[in-house]
Structure 1
Amino acid sequence: MYSINKRRLGGIGTVAAAAVVLAACSGTPEGGPGGGGGGGEPAPEGATTVEFWQTNYTDEENEWYEGIVEAFNESQDDVHVRLTVVPGDAWDQRMTAAQAAGNAPDVYTQSYGNIPDGARTGQLHPLGDLIGAEAWDDLQDNVRGMVSYDGEEYAYPLLVEPSAVLYYRTDLFEEAGLEGPPQTWDELEEYAATLTSDSVFGLRLAQNANDLAWSTWGYQHNVAGHLPISDDWSEPAATDEYAPLLQAFQDMFEAGSIPPADGLAYPDASTFGDGEYAMMANGSWAASQLLADYPDLVENVAVAPMPTFDGGTGQTTATLGGWSLVVDGNSENPEAAASFIEWALGGDVENVLPFFEATVYSKVSPRESVAQAISESPDVEDVNPFNQVIQEEIVPFAEPEPTYPFNVSLAMGEAIEAAMQGTDVDQALAEATEKIRVEIQNSQLAGTGPGA
């Protein structure tokens, strides 16, 4: 277990701890008690008050958010930020009610997949002219595109994290005579069967339609070269090119290499940590859980990109999700709100580094300057031995998570689940096609996609 190191960086007093628990990037973080956070002290006389809602994350992440709010408030007297932490399972209801009543927070956390729709409908305020060019130019190009719509930036990002990394037990591989990770899905099936025994299953993948819907985006890219809807969102595209993916799930389930659902969500790595699996697909965030809760296991764990269907390297096998800050489209104080975002996320590198330290570098900074500072830290690989592979072999080839309505993704998740449970693959894809067609009609998606 790593020690807790209290540091003061860029005016932020924060605990940088390796003992963290899981927070998924693409799903809704687990809820906790709501209520106040940083900025609870009275605002200075004459200061503009900015309301900030933050989704509830891990204790370490919550502490960083509270610290950054307090540090910002202490740094000047013109803007006072008041933080509220909202449980993940209450977020949609509370935000919808607040927006309907006209009292939505000025600033809030937002996942990348929701940015385009928020920009298109006016729910988000454009930030391009409210945050300085230096902060924008520091972003990696692909992530800047993820926070932009129609040539304008609508969010400033804190982190990205790939949705799919292959974690595998090197000791069990050695016992089974397997060298290195599988390179193709055919090999993944073979390895999973070889590693399965009376006490260990070969592979843990997402196990229900909801998790399959988003955790397989990278695999869908890889097997078909596209996602299951046309670029302009006018037609379903759940073609038979997806058949090898559904067939792989079906074959491994029938072989007993992947078991019936264990009741845990895809982002939870605890059953792998407990020794129930020889391989596991999970996001980069799972590293923090393994390092914190299973330190004795880590020396026997390695990571690799998920295999590709043709065995090639440098291909998409994961999507990038993560979190950003946005300004509400009806905020009465957009300049003040944006000044906080720029200071907190786009300003001094030393303000942001504690976040990545606290999460044991299991998340990736989209800022070039922050990524460089992390790479120069002498203890990164000691703290997180998985970091280099994830940074160099997975992140550069990951695609942004899709921005179409989740029902499109859910149609594919349900098709994969059905195939896994024995439904004919062609039938499962046909049912997905019809569900996507209905979603296109119901949500009037035709012609609204990025390729229109």
Structure 2
Amino acid sequence: MRRRGIVLLAIAAVTASTALSGCGGGSEDPAGRTTVTFWQQKFEDYQQAWFKKHVDAYNATQDKVKIDLQVVPADTWAQKLKAAQAAGKAPDIATTSYGNVAPGVAQGQFASLDELLPAEAFTDVKDNVKGFVTVNGKHYAYPMLVEPSTVLYYRTDLVTAAGLDPNSPPKTWADLVQWATKLTKGNVKGMTIASAGPDLGWSSWGLQYNACGRLPVNDDWSKSTATEPCFEKLLDFYKTLYSGGLIPKTPKVGYADGAPYGQGEVAMMAGGSWVIGQLKNDFKAMVPKTAVAAFPSFDGDATKTTATLGGWTLTVDAKSKGKQQAADFVKYLLAGDPALMADFFKTSGFSKYTVRTSVDQALASNPDATSDPFMKVISEKVVPFGRQEPAYPWDISLAFGTAIESAMKGKADVPTSLKTAAAAIDDVIKKQSLAGTAPK
């Protein structure tokens, strides 16, 4: 699921946008079963196999309902879904990112699940995730997983060789700079972190929360807060890493790709939890040399957010003719037997993390989970303190990410970069009439 949906929703040709069938809740297959269409955005191959396996298993137990699984490429997803909704042919069930739940509710796209699922399905969801799928007190999606956007990965062998303690990772941003300085040797940089505006726009959300306890827009989306002094220390942090030569200045890949770390070009990496899957699949020799930690907080307080929690849900179309049948499948797949989702997280190489307490309990007795070198740290020290990705338009995030890049690369000083961001954000607010529209 190598991100990140907010940035990478490319627009495909309109002529192909209605190729998939939708809203099948009222149709019947040759066996007389009601067909429920399920559009699943294409992720990693193992996920496609997992979804198909459990759709087939569910269908084999049903004599009145059939789930029709249709996989849609990520680069055509947005256009196909928009066209299907406009034509009244939206799928009964769809994979939906957390960031798209509130906007979809505002547009009347999703059915409330409170009347379709038992209450205990939502009491099982972790407290810091419930709000991701809740709008005005109602649940409009069922969460599947979370992926922390920012985790610290580091080479234990290089850390030891530099005279540092691999069992005591950096706690503050200042500590991290010191580590990066000592680990920068020869062709190996101390670390890697996002350095381009689009990547900085989303990968820095957790650190924005860490620096200021908020994002650079006020609570009702009526005004930018980007010029608040607390954001200056965030830009100073990025600038220190870049100007000090502690990170690659011309990275070959974006933030979402862990290849520079896997290939030994850097000693530490700020990366999402999904990189674990990449390391296990593509850079197996690096795994025994790698340790993970929560990304440092600016002041060392480990309970402050340093990562947002991206991820995916299943939603039921508000106009579906088979809402209950659709919700019954959602319950089976995501809210039913904890062993089913525990199997998913094992299949993922424990690179994604559960949203349900009962699944945590199931994994606690799973030897593969308990022996995984990364899962315990991320589950206990990152996920509980993660915050939701912002629901405001991407233009706002891009404006702030551009400000970080401007400051870190010396295109403008920190105060000027933040003033430019504030003006751009206020312009977005005005042009898109965002004031007062923040979801509650």
After TM superposition, give the deviation of residue 29 of structure 1 in Å.
7.5
Q: Is the 8 A contact 1:30 1:56 kept in 2?
A: no
Matches of 1:414 and 1:91, distance apart in 2: 26
After TM superposition, give the deviation of residue 248 of structure 1 in Å.
1.6
- What per-residue deviation string (whole Å, max 9, x for no partner) do you get for residues 277-336 of structure 1? 111011111111112222222221111111111122221111111100001222222122
Are residues 1:171 and 2:150 paired? no
- Of the three residues 234, 242, 246, the one matched with 2:231 is 242
Q: Is the 8 A contact 1:161 1:322 kept in 2?
A: yes
What residue number does 2:378 align with?
390
What residue number does 1:70 align with?
56
What residue number does 1:262 align with?
251
Q: How many residues align?
A: 424
Q: Is the 8 A contact 1:28 1:88 kept in 2?
A: no
After TM superposition, give the deviation of residue 204 of structure 1 in Å.
0.7
Q: Secondary structure of the equivalent of 2:145?
A: strand
What residue number does 1:45 align with?
31
- Of the three residues 392, 410, 427, the one matched with 2:398 is 410
Q: Is the 8 A contact 2:9 2:77 kept in 1?
A: no
Are residues 1:136 and 2:122 paired? yes
Letter in 1 for 2:202: W
After TM superposition, give the deviation of residue 262 of structure 1 in Å.
1.9
After TM superposition, give the deviation of residue 225 of structure 1 in Å.
1.6
What residue number does 1:107 align with?
93
Matches of 1:307 and 1:258, distance apart in 2: 17
Are residues 1:449 and 2:435 paired? no
What residue number does 1:211 align with?
199
Q: With structure 2 as the length reference, what TM-score do the two structures score? A: 0.92
After TM superposition, give the deviation of residue 228 of structure 1 in Å.
0.4
- Of the three residues 207, 213, 216, the one matched with 1:225 is 213
- Of the three residues 12, 16, 23, the one matched with 2:2 is 23
Could you list the runs of 5+ residues in structure 1 that have no partner in the other structure?
1-21
Distance of aligned partners of 1:280 and 1:427 in 2 relative to their CA distance in 1, 3 Å threshold: same
Q: Secondary structure of the equivalent of 1:326?
A: strand
After TM superposition, give the deviation of residue 44 of structure 1 in Å.
5.2
- Of the three residues 195, 212, 229, the one matched with 2:183 is 195
Matches of 1:284 and 1:267, distance apart in 2: 10
Q: Is the 8 A contact 1:64 1:354 kept in 2?
A: no
Matches of 2:123 and 2:311, distance apart in 1: 19
Matches of 1:79 and 1:242, distance apart in 2: 53
Are residues 1:160 and 2:149 paired? no
What residue number does 1:19 align with?
none
Q: Is the 8 A contact 1:204 1:277 kept in 2?
A: yes
Q: Is the 8 A contact 2:346 2:368 kept in 1?
A: no
Q: Secondary structure of the equivalent of 2:190?
A: strand
After TM superposition, give the deviation of residue 373 of structure 1 in Å.
0.2
Distance of aligned partners of 1:30 and 1:376 in 2 relative to their CA distance in 1, 3 Å threshold: farther
Are residues 1:344 and 2:333 paired? yes
- Of the three residues 93, 97, 113, the one matched with 1:127 is 113
After TM superposition, give the deviation of residue 104 of structure 1 in Å.
1.4
- Of the three residues 316, 329, 332, the one matched with 2:318 is 329
Are residues 1:295 and 2:284 paired? yes
Distance of aligned partners of 1:29 and 1:229 in 2 relative to their CA distance in 1, 3 Å threshold: closer
- Of the three residues 86, 95, 106, the one matched with 2:72 is 86
Q: Is the 8 A contact 1:203 1:279 kept in 2?
A: yes
After TM superposition, give the deviation of residue 27 of structure 1 in Å.
5.1
What residue number does 1:379 align with?
368
Distance of aligned partners of 1:434 and 1:298 in 2 relative to their CA distance in 1, 3 Å threshold: same
Are residues 1:360 and 2:346 paired? no
Q: With structure 1 as the length reference, what TM-score do the two structures score? A: 0.89
Could you list the runs of 5+ residues in structure 2 that have no partner in the other structure?
11-16
Letter in 2 for 1:171: D
- What per-residue deviation string (whole Å, max 9, x for no partner) do you get for residues 39-87 of structure 1? 9xx9353321111111111011111111121111111121111111111
What residue number does 2:13 align with?
none
- Of the three residues 82, 86, 93, the one matched with 1:96 is 82
Q: Secondary structure of the equivalent of 1:246?
A: helix
Matches of 2:34 and 2:4, distance apart in 1: 32
Matches of 2:397 and 2:259, distance apart in 1: 26
Same amino acid, percent of matched pairs: 45
- What per-residue deviation string (whole Å, max 9, x for no partner) do you get for residues 234-254 of structure 1? 111112311111112112211
For the aligned residue pairs, the C-alpha RMSD in angstroms reads 2.1
- What per-residue deviation string (whole Å, max 9, x for no partner) do you get for residues 11-35 of structure 1? xxxxxxxxxxx6336656899xx99
